[in-house]
Copies of this chain bind each other. A is one copy, B any other.
Amino acid sequence: MKQERVVYVNGEIVPESRAAISISDRGFLLGDAVFDSTRTFGHRIFRLREHLDRLYESLRWMRIDPRMTKDEMADLTMDVLERNLPTVDERDDVWVTQRVTRGLRLASADIQGAADRPTVIIECFPIPFVERARYYRDGLSIITPSVRRTPPEAMSPRAKTHNYINLIQADMEARAQDPRAYAVLLDMNGNLCEGNGSNIFIIKDGVLLTPKERYVLAGISRRTALELAHELGLEAREADLDLFDAYTADEAFVTSTSFCICPVASINGAAVGEAGVPGPVTHRLQSAYSGLVGIDVVQQYLSRLS
């Protein structure tokens, strides 16, 4: 019988089906929480330290004190992962995620106040290779919804929080048109910004371009793609990009922790480039990505096509 996944919740390891938080937790009531996710490749964790650095930046921006050091958080994370690996099929891999909320609301106190103990959760969750395999084969259909990405002066997109309604509204708008489409939002200036947990790149005349870090959650996979591009001798830089860039691009792809580098087939129904997916530069980057992580990331998806 298949073993159940377990979750770390405030010092205890519990089966996922019983892992719960109080309805008085501000993480639930207000989305007053941050998280970060890395994944495994061939059951080995990827750049945990970089992800924890980013988690602690999100915490700092939110003025939440996790009451543990990065080293402690790393140890707990590795422990949770090890406990869960037996539940993971060898073809599969998992997200590994830390979540920290500000803790419980205070009864008999101003609603703004929080109890002084944060809630810390560490969990593993399966990456849906089967369900997403088609995107690796067919490329993603990107739609830019009319909903704009929340501007930094209202809420920074650079912290990874439990406030996703802006992105959910964008997805609903896109998926009402095409249930398999992915939304990539424009920012308040009309530039390409980011999707739900994903960054977008376009390639034009051999140069990789991706939206500026200020307006997006700069993913570790995004950074990895930029590093790989530089190693391959490709010019790669941040830029203000708009729909003209998108429609005239030679290639485009999306990066995310789970997707690594997933090709884009069309943007708002306009085919990207003339080369099919993946385009040649995207293909080189996918290969380099596979080399870096030690497994064939493309094949991991494609092998699950039904």
Contacts and interface: CB of A to CB of B under 8 A. Distances in A.
Given A30-B31, A164-B31, A165-B30, A247 B61 contact: yes
Contact of A109 (B131, B143, B177): B131
Contact of A28 (B28, B149, B190): B28
A138 to B, nearest CB: 15
Contact of A108 (B9, B110, B130, B148): B130
A196 interface: yes
B112 A175 contact: yes
A23 B33 CA distance: 12
Query: How many copies of this protein are present in the complex?
Result: 6
Contacts of A190: 148, 151-153
A168 B269 CA distance: 14
B155 A126 contact: no
Contacts of A132: 110
A211 to B, nearest CB: 12
Interface string A53-86: 0000100111100000000000000000000000
A154 B145 contact: no
Contacts of A240: 212, 214
A229 interface: no
Contact of A22 (B19, B32, B149, B242): B19
Contacts of A62: 165, 168-169
A108 B123 contact: no
Contacts of A153: 146-148, 186, 188-190, 242-243
A24 B21 CA distance: 10
Given A20-B21, A163-B163, A269-B177, A214 B243 contact: no
A148 B155 CA distance: 8
Contacts of A207: none
A103 interface: no
A260 interface: no
A295 interface: no
Interface of A: 7, 9, 16-17, 19-25, 27-33, 57, 60-63, 99, 107-112, 121, 123, 125-126, 128, 130-132, 143-156, 158-159, 161-166, 168-169, 171-173, 175-178, 181, 186, 188-190, 196-197, 212, 214, 240, 242-244, 247-248, 268-270
12 contacts: A25-B28, A29-B162, A31-B31, A57-B248, A61-B247, A62-B169, A63-B172, A146-B268, A150-B155, A150-B166, A154-B188, A212-B240
